[in-house]
Amino acid sequence: MINIAHVKKYEQVLSCYLGFKILKKLLILLFFVLTFALNTKSVFCEPASAQGELPLEVSEKYYKKESILQFNEAVKSWELKNTEKAIKLWEEAINIDPNLWVAYLGLGQAYDSKKEYKKSLDAYNNYLKFAPKAAPDRKTVLEAVKYLTYLLRYGEEAIKGEDYLSLVKTKHQGKEHYVRWDLSSPVKIYFYPANGVPNYRIEFKDAFLEGAKLWQEALPDLKFEVLSNSVLQKLSGKKTAEKEVIDRSQITVVFPSRFKVKGDPANPVAAQIDAQSFPIIRDKKDFRVLGVIMISPYIYFQSQIAIPLEPLSKLTKEEQIKKLKIISAREVGHALGLWGFSPNPDDLMFEGEVKELKLSQRDKNTIRKLYELNPDKDENILTND
């Protein structure tokens, strides 16, 4: 919920003007007399929005006094937990002066508390439309807008429910399926040799595995086995030998220097991609440069995860490891069967950016329920073995 405690400062700004009430009236009167006499449009007569960005200072100098007074009364009602009265007063403030951007902030929070999410989202969007760029709550409201957008798209249960199992199905041949691994034996991972690849660090392999093992918190039976590629160093037919190792693996990991996007390795899209699962690896140069990015995530016999190194290289060494662990955990989450995304930003499998390597309770509940599904009762469950 958005915190608007700071709005009290606007009352203080207003009070300093009330102290000069008589002088203020005289100045306003003089202002309009001069304006009429000159018979011209003064820039000071135009609404603040007509001059570009609205002022950050909320006072009679820029906004209508009655609107500010209503706003302050609304804040008092909100603090007394009289939500209905606060909403009414904030709406009145906006009717008096639609430019009073802080009123949209309070209105958004009040409607959110009543679970009237569409009205809350509309109010927050108006806040972003009118509020100056330096407004103290702008970043928080942006997050609220993102959250409410997901909430309205997927429903409250998908956001706040115990799990998001209904969202992790994948499609194949026109049908939706749940996909999961057989955990009676270790999930085999193969790392393509990356020595010599620009920006690769030997620590990346361990970082990837640490991220992958995060799911063991929810699935105690989950084990990983890394397939060795040391035999390749002794064989002349390396490509053939590598293919044999790959065929035995269930998750293959490649660290390309950069993506090749639509034939153009300098394409800016490449620099924006953290990781992407691929149904097919288009090997052009020893698996280090990928072909056209493939969007379909339906891979249930073998998951292949590519993590481009160029974007990571722009981070500090510590940030690289942290980022890589998060990427690994999320991509392995897909490989284990969570092909969809969660609309809740607190979940590791959130469809937006994630900054913490942490499974939420919803993440744990979802993957546990996936592996508890009974294929005898639902034919749309595919188990890899």
Task: Answer left, alpha or beta for residue 52, where phi above 0 means left and psi between -120 and 50 means alpha.
Answer: left
pLDDT score recorded for residue 172: 65
pLDDT score recorded for residue 57: 86
Assigned fold of 5-154: 1.25.40
Domain 165-384, CATH class in plain words: alpha beta
**pTM given for the model:** 0.61
Q: How is the chain split into domains, by residue range? A: 5-154, 165-384
Amino acid code (one letter) for 176: E
Q: Which residues, in sequence order, are bridge partners of residue 303?
A: 251
Say what the alpha-carbon torsion angle 383, 302, 203, 317 is, to the nearest 10 degrees: -100
pLDDT score recorded for residue 93: 94
Max CA separation in the chain (angstroms): 96
Which has the minimum average pLDDT: 89-103, 233-247, 369-383? 233-247
H/E stretch holding 107 reads helix 101-113
pLDDT score recorded for residue 75: 93
Give the tens place of pLDDT for each residue, 200-224.
999 999 999 999 999 999 999 999 9
Contact 76, 87 (CB under 8 A): no
Amino acid code (one letter) for 24: K
Give the tens place of pLDDT for each residue, 135-148.
888 888 998 898 88
| Per-residue pLDDT at 79 exceeds 60 | yes
